[in-house]
Amino acid sequence: MRRFLKKKSKQSWASDVLPRHIAIIMDGNGRWAGSRGLPRSAGHAAGAETFRRVATYCKEIGIEYLTVYAFSTENWKRPPDEVATIMELLGKYMREALEKMERDRVKMCFFGDQTILSPDLQELIAETEEMSRRYDGVQVNICINYGGRDEILRAVSHYAADVAEGRLPCGGLPDEELFSKYMYSSGIPDPDLIIRPSGEMRLSNFLLWQSAYSELYFTDVLWPDFTERELDNAIFAYQSRNRRYGGIV
């Protein structure tokens, strides 16, 4: 018999069929700020606080993996001051996380090409991932300078290099299991549930390989207004679906 949890949000869902891995496209920060007559930087700051709150809630209810889309390979097209704000907020969050990791026991990993990030941010990422290796528990994956197509091309390049250098046999193509090992998400289960706030209904180059059988949930709520109750609604919708993976069960 399923056990149901009643959270402070007043939303009930079955605790024994929670998604192991939730991924979120954190969208709507700029529109949230614009609707309030605020600079876009204020929207990104509010969105960072929402991320902190949602990550904490995921840990509390027993989600094993949370992956968030923080900055895409296409986001470099945005105004330089907005890009600088996002990078500054990310660095601020990581510094605070480093101070609290011993207490919170939250692992943090990063997906994306780090080579064009600032040296300071690269150092923070390396320090955070090194410390994360000491802990078990919820894992938060932050996608920064990440694109799904870029990730697939990177995986193909690394696989081809291994074949050319004799580390893998020549001839044929890798199966899905082998190819998945070349992705940033190697060793992590594919997301069960992908959430996109803000009313947009597309993946926007997010986890294209990993999302083959993910359940998708869209809401008009802008990311800074996304609450624990909104996450509950997404989980409840996920639990109402019949995941067949191409079968007929």
Task: Summarize pLDDT for 152-176 with one digit per residue, the tens.
Answer: 999 999 999 999 999 988 877 789 9
Mean pLDDT over 101-116 rounds to: 87
Does residue 47 register a pLDDT over 90? yes
Residue ranges per structural domain of the chain: 17-235
pLDDT digits (tens, 9 = 90+) for 57-71: 999 999 999 999 999
Burial 192-215 (b: 16+ CB within 10 A, else e): bbbbbbbeeeebebbbebbbeebb
Nearest to 83 by CA among 135, 55, 41: 41
**pLDDT level of residue 16 (50, 70, 90 thresholds):** confident
pLDDT at 99: 81
Residue 201: its pLDDT value, please? 96
Which whole number is the average pLDDT over 85-90?
Answer: 92
- Given a cut of 60, whether residue 9 has pLDDT beyond it is no
What pLDDT does residue 103 have? 76
pLDDT at 8: 47
| Mean pLDDT value of segment 200-227 | 97
- Tell me the chain's radius of gyration from C-alpha atoms: 19
Question: pLDDT tens, 215-245?
Answer: 999 999 999 999 999 999 999 999 999 877 7
For helices 80-104 and 40-61, give the axis angle rounded to 10 degrees: 20
**17-235 — its CATH code?**
3.40.1180.10
**Pick from 208, 160, 215: which is nearest to 184 by CA?**
208
Say if strands 4-6 and 12-14 run parallel, antiparallel, or are unpaired: antiparallel
pTM of model > 0.95: no
Question: Which of the two residues, 32 and 170, has the higher pLDDT score?
Answer: 32
132 pLDDT tier (thresholds 50, 70, 90): confident
Helix pair 228-239, 40-61: axis angle to 10 deg: 60
**What are the catalytic residues?**
27, 75
Q: Is the pLDDT of residue 1 over 50?
A: no
The neighbour count for residue 170, using CB atoms within 10 Å, is 7
